[in-house]
Structure 1
Amino acid sequence: MREVTESSGTTDASEGEDSPYTPRYTRDELIEKLGVSAEFAEKAWNAFGFARRSSEEKVFSDRDMEALEMFNASSGAMPETTQIAMARAIGQTISRLAEWEAEQLREIADDPTIPWTLEQMSEALGQIQHLIWRRHMALAIERHTDHSSEEKVDLVVGFADIVGYTSLSRRIDLGDLEALLGSFEDDTFDVVVDHGGRVVKTLGDAVMFTFDDSGAAAAAALEIHRLSESDHLPPLRVGLARGAVLPRLGDVFGEPVNIASRLTSSARPGTTLVDDSVATQIADDDRFYLKSMPSLRVRGYKHLKARVLEPHRDGPLSD
């Protein structure tokens, strides 16, 4: 199988030797043509997740050269530390995705009824990834435009996690555990996206997400709990907090993240806790009922105010 892990493009026999996707450069030739320092090249290469070693294999195309020239030229507007952080985020994300995809493709290729080679499926999957990336990039740019040029944005941050996951993982075999986590992550993702939110990341037994709208976040939280009924999942717990967060490399940081995490850890099985900011914004929404509770004493917060979020006992009021 052709090596594709160290090239940002793919080649095809029909493209011919003069194609801009044809591999022409070794890693050392690429570094020389880019005119970057050996020290920075090694840092970036390592951040992308590749070993620091020379190779005579030509794996980089003219299109790769153009993209990396643009990345290198951004140093005037982007500090080196940010460039390396971006390279690390890309490398870690793509590496994990590639490992999982390679495992799945090898299983498919072992099926004698499948008419495609491993290389054909790999190239098709690469094209699909590019398609999905373009759509997500367009949506991300739109979100950043909506939030103006300010560094911090006002969002609802939420966590959903599986109650008793540690003890559960000791009682069931790895196959059942994998199926449980897959069902939890997939279905939670669907709920969040269907309500207009965005999944930030998965953390083993937890999913972190964000919403612009507090009402949508609350509705999603209540629906997430219903997954325990339909998918035979253990009880779940959810925490929601609203405030200014700092988006960085696909993640978000700030006090609402900490508060949402503490609320989730403090929630009883099958319940959602929300902070004052979320509670205030959904107080008049007849889909929800907010139940008072004593202030929480958790790590970093001696008197954390929270409410228990429940569906409205009489259902939404009619117009």
Structure 2
Amino acid sequence: MTVPSSDARYSRDELVAALGIDPKYGEKIWTAFGFARQHSDAKLFSEADVEAFRLFARGAAGVDEAAQVATARTIGQSLARLADWQADQLIEFDEDPEVSWSVDDMAKALSRIQRLVWRLHLGIALEGSRAQDSDSTGWDTTIGFVDIVGYTNLSRRIDHHELNDLITAFEDQVSAVVTTYDGHVIKTLGDGILFANPDTTQSALTALDIADLSEQPPIPRLRIGLAHGEVLPRLGDVFGEPVNIAARLCGSSRPGRILIDDNLSDALEDDARFRLRSIAPLSVRGYRRLRASALTRPKA
């Protein structure tokens, strides 16, 4: 069921007409948002919605169409995943006799909280963008990758409730460590988490604290890879060699251990809070002799 604005006056096709855009392009964007290609006269949009879309369309006029569709797809996929999870939660609350709120009331409250959290995150992201070199499309940062060792076999041995508890604890606790050191979780991948932190020292401290979580029930064994360099931020994700190297180092690391690339090792070598040990070059996919070091805390 589609939930329209309370003062909705426009159908999807009427919105497209009001914006004065090509119907085929409007259909493409609508599909990229994740909605079905079907005609409907349902009134979904208010006058304020039309004005918001008009502002968005005006700002996107000079942007390549492929980039606009990719942006719409990213928004649609992210919000669809969030909405699916929220719907399950609201139904669960609605079935609880101790919860007196209706689903509609809870949805309205959730919508307000969601907008507040989004505005705060947007403000932080804008400040970060202004601090970067405006002439550069890259971002100099440390990329970290952490995953669960033997996840496939583990998921076969435990039931869904145990798996849910494991994944929830893994994502919650690792994300808490990342944000404690002013880092940013880029994405979660079920058995893995990709994060970024432009500060080399903070990223190393993050990795050490995450390693401490390894084999602390319900979290199983973890392994971590870090690489520093320039990445391309795009639609909430990051791309570039540091991402690839961090993933390769993570996959080559032993349970509970941290491997870092030479760039990060050079930045940390004079810091007494860290102990670095060079390892033999790694032969991994895409890199025949990948140089790396093991990162630990100094011995007492």
**TM-score, structure 2 length as denominator?**
0.97
SS at match of 1:240: strand
For 2:62 and 2:139, locate their aligned partners in 1 and report how far apart those are by CA, in whole Å. Answer: 22
Identity %: 47
Matched, 1:86 2:71: yes
The one of 52, 59, 66 aligned to 1:67: 52
For 1:122 and 1:76, locate their aligned partners in 2 and report how far apart those are by CA, in whole Å. Answer: 33
| Displacement after TM superposition at 1:77 (Å) | 2.4
For 1:228 and 1:153, locate their aligned partners in 2 and report how far apart those are by CA, in whole Å. Answer: 30
Matched, 1:131 2:111: no
For 1:169 and 1:253, locate their aligned partners in 2 and report how far apart those are by CA, in whole Å. Answer: 29
| Displacement after TM superposition at 1:229 (Å) | 4.8
Moved more, 204-213 or 147-156: 147-156
| Displacement after TM superposition at 1:232 (Å) | 3.1
Contact preservation (8 Å) 2:139, 2:230: yes
Q: Aligned residue for 1:317?
A: none
The one of 272, 278, 298 aligned to 1:292: 278
SS at match of 1:239: strand
Q: Aligned residue for 2:91?
A: 106
**TM-score, structure 1 length as denominator?**
0.92
Structure 2 residues without counterparts, runs of 5 or longer: none
Alignment of 1:1-319 (within 5 A): 3-4=2-3, 10-11=5-6, 22-149=7-134, 150-314=136-300
For 1:80 and 1:232, locate their aligned partners in 2 and report how far apart those are by CA, in whole Å. Answer: 46
For 1:252 and 1:153, locate their aligned partners in 2 and report how far apart those are by CA, in whole Å. Answer: 9
SS at match of 1:199: strand
Deviation track 1:164-214 (CA, whole Å, cap 9, x = no partner) reads 101101111111111101110111000000011000000110000000111
Structure 1 residues without counterparts, runs of 5 or longer: 12-21, 315-319
SS at match of 1:207: strand
SS at match of 1:115: coil
For 1:283 and 1:248, locate their aligned partners in 2 and report how far apart those are by CA, in whole Å. Answer: 31
For 1:76 and 1:94, locate their aligned partners in 2 and report how far apart those are by CA, in whole Å. Answer: 24
| Displacement after TM superposition at 1:246 (Å) | 0.4
Aligned length: 299
| Displacement after TM superposition at 1:57 (Å) | 1.2
For 1:148 and 1:276, locate their aligned partners in 2 and report how far apart those are by CA, in whole Å. Answer: 24
Deviation track 1:238-266 (CA, whole Å, cap 9, x = no partner) reads 00000110000111100000000000000
For 1:125 and 1:285, locate their aligned partners in 2 and report how far apart those are by CA, in whole Å. Answer: 45
Deviation track 1:118-169 (CA, whole Å, cap 9, x = no partner) reads 0000011011100000000000001111112110110100100001101101
Contact preservation (8 Å) 2:215, 2:222: no
Contact preservation (8 Å) 2:165, 2:218: no
SS at match of 1:50: coil
Q: CA RMSD in A?
A: 1.1
